[in-house]
Amino acid sequence: MTPLKQIEALKKAIKYFRSEIGPHDCGWMHTTIDGLKHRIKHLRSEMKKDLPKKSWIKGYKKWKKK
């Protein structure tokens, strides 16, 4: 699975967990969401290493607008 597809799947998982969070006993969901966010950050940094700096900056500006 490509890193972009992995990020997409992780974002869907985050969206699901956020929709399931209740008023109590859901601390583990917050922990899971934080872990998924960390994984997304790691995947993005790995992708950044593979790109020339010019294309990374262009892609980052496009991503930041979302």
pLDDT at 50: 73
pLDDT at 65: 63
Output the six-digit token pair for 61: 């500006």
- pTM higher than the cut 0.75: no
Q: For residue range 8-52, what is the model confidence (pLDDT) as tens digits? A: 999 999 999 999 999 999 899 999 999 999 999 999 988 887 766
The SS3 assignment for 65 reads: helix
pLDDT at 42: 94
Q: Is the pLDDT of residue 64 over 80?
A: no
* DSSP-derived secondary structure letter, 47: H
Give 37's contacts (C-beta < 8 A, 6+ positions apart).
14
Give 58's contacts (C-beta < 8 A, 6+ positions apart).
none
pLDDT at 56: 62
